[in-house]
Amino acid sequence: MIEIRSDDFNIAQIANSGQCFRISEQSEGRWEVIAFGKSLKIRVRDDNTHIFECATDEYNELWHNYFDMQRDYGEIKAKIRAVGDSYLTRAVDFGYGMRILNQDLWEVIISFIISQQNNIPRIKGIIKRLCAPYGLHFPTPQELLAFSEDDFAKIGLGYRARYVRNVAVAATEGRLNFGELRKMSYHDAVAYLKKFDGIGDKVANCIALFGLRKLEAFPVDVWIKRILQRQYGGEFDIGRFRGYAGLVQQYMFYYERFREK
Side by side, the strands of the sheet bearing 2-5 are 2-5, 49-52, 38-44, 30-35, 23-27
From 115, 127, 111, 110, select the one nearest 222 (Cα to Cα).
Answer: 115
Contact (Cβ atoms closer than 8 angstroms) between residue 224 and residue 251: no
Candidates 194, 202, 214, 261; catalytic one: 202
First-to-last C-alpha distance (Å) of the chain: 38
202 is catalytic: yes
Per-residue burial over 130-139, b = 16 or more CB atoms within 10 Å of its CB, e = otherwise: bbeeeeeebb
Q: Is the dihedral of CA 182, 183, 188, 194 positive or negative?
A: negative
Instruction: Provide the annotated active-site residues.
Output: 202
